[in-house]
Amino acid sequence: MAKFGKKYQEVAKLVEAGKAYDLAEAVEVVKKTATAKFDETVDVAVRLGVNPKYADQQVRGAVVLPHGTGKTKKVLVFAKGDKVAEAQAAGADYVGSDEYVAKIKEGWFDFDVTVATPDMMGVVGRLGRILGPRGLMPNPKLGTVTMDLTKAVNEIKAGKVEYRTDKAGNVHVPIGKVSFESEKLVQNLQTLLDTLVKVKPAAAKGQYMRNITISTTMGPAVTVNTNFKAAKSE
């Protein structure tokens, strides 16, 4: 049994055992469980009824959270010609080609997301064994291999997050900070869950949303009702 500190044990009492909270109520409880001196991240963990061993049951993609995550990501763009200026104008932190391949091979990783134009994938491909295991390889499905660098960089800076099932079929995604207003956290959570429902693999059988919990960096998990209402379309 894991041992928890007194603060954790006290805030854990705020979470009703066996209860599945509605989205708004879950967010309110989670905010009360934050006891750290820093602005804790609010994380979501979703257990999906899929078997990631099969390609047609893997769930992976990206979604732009309406209120971001509270963290500004550093973006590295591989581009050449006119696309260099476009990426720089969009706010990319680093833009280039072979010089960044060399830096990364030397152990430089001062970036959070990698974007590339399609014609640069031959260059980026040389870094596959390094970027791949770190989840930093550009991917068309994530919108990070594209000619529209302005859109790609703007979305990442605005709060685009990636989601991907692990070996057990779980998805872990940050949806903001404890300091966020409750409504903003609820809207981010709603957006993420609605997206996961939309990308349900056709091959997935039985209950899709098996379990949803949200928690702060240092706090206990709060269970969310899997029968949440989808957001109304505009």
What is the average pLDDT score of the chain? 92
Residue 44: pLDDT over 70: yes
* Sign, CA torsion 193/198/204/207: positive
Distance of alpha carbon 19 from alpha carbon 190, whole angstroms: 19
Q: Which helix (H) or strand (E) holds 175?
A: strand 170-177
DSSP of 26-84, one letter per residue?
A: HHHHHHHT--SSS-PEEEEEEEES--TTSGGG--EEEEE-TT--S-PPPEEEE--THHH
- What average pLDDT does range 142-152 have in this prediction? 96
pLDDT, one tens digit per residue, over 50-93 is 999 999 999 999 999 999 999 889 999 999 999 999 999 999 99
Tokens, residue 1: 């049994």
Tokens, residue 224: 């969310």
- Give the pLDDT confidence score for residue 52 in this predicted structure: 92
Mode of pairing for the β-strands spanning 94-96 and 75-78 = parallel
Tokens, residue 10: 């006290």
Residue 229: pLDDT over 50: yes
Give Cα 163 to chain centroid, integer Å.
5
- Residue environment code for 66-99, b if the CB has 16+ CB neighbours within 10 A, otherwise e: ebbbbeebebbbbbeeebbebbbebebbbbbbee
- Residue environment code for 166-200, b if the CB has 16+ CB neighbours within 10 A, otherwise e: eeebbbebbbbbbebeeebbbbbbbbbbebbeeee
pLDDT, one tens digit per residue, over 117-140 is 999 999 999 999 999 999 999 999
- Closest residue by Cα to residue 47 from 172, 187, 227, 169: 169
* Sign, CA torsion 140/231/188/56: negative
Yes or no: say if 130 and 96 are a contact pair by the CB < 8 Å rule: no
Residue 1: pLDDT over 60: no
Within 13 Å, how many C-alpha atoms sit on residue 55's CB side? 0
